[in-house]
Amino acid sequence: MKKIILVFIFLSFYWGLSFSNAQCLDFASSEGIAAMDTAVFLHDGRFNAIKLKQGDDIYIYKSFYAQEEYRIVVVGEKGLGDLKLEITDFKQKNVIFSNEKNEKYFDFTPDLSQRAIIHITIPASAAGKVPQKGCVAVMFGLKKL
Pick out the chain residues at pLDDT < 50.
5-20
CA distances from 141 to 29, 46, 80 (A): 13, 10, 24
Tally the domains of the chain.
1
pLDDT computed for residue 22 by the predictor: 73
pLDDT computed for residue 21 by the predictor: 61
CATH code, domain with 7: 2.60.120.380
pLDDT computed for residue 103 by the predictor: 84
Domain that holds residue 124: 2-143
pLDDT tens-place string over residues 44-72: 888 788 899 999 999 999 999 999 999 99
Give me the phi and psi of 12, to 5 degrees please. Answer: -65, -45
pLDDT computed for residue 12 by the predictor: 45
Q: Which stretches does DSSP call E strand in the chain?
A: 41-43, 48-53, 57-64, 70-76, 84-89, 95-98, 105-108, 114-121, 133-143
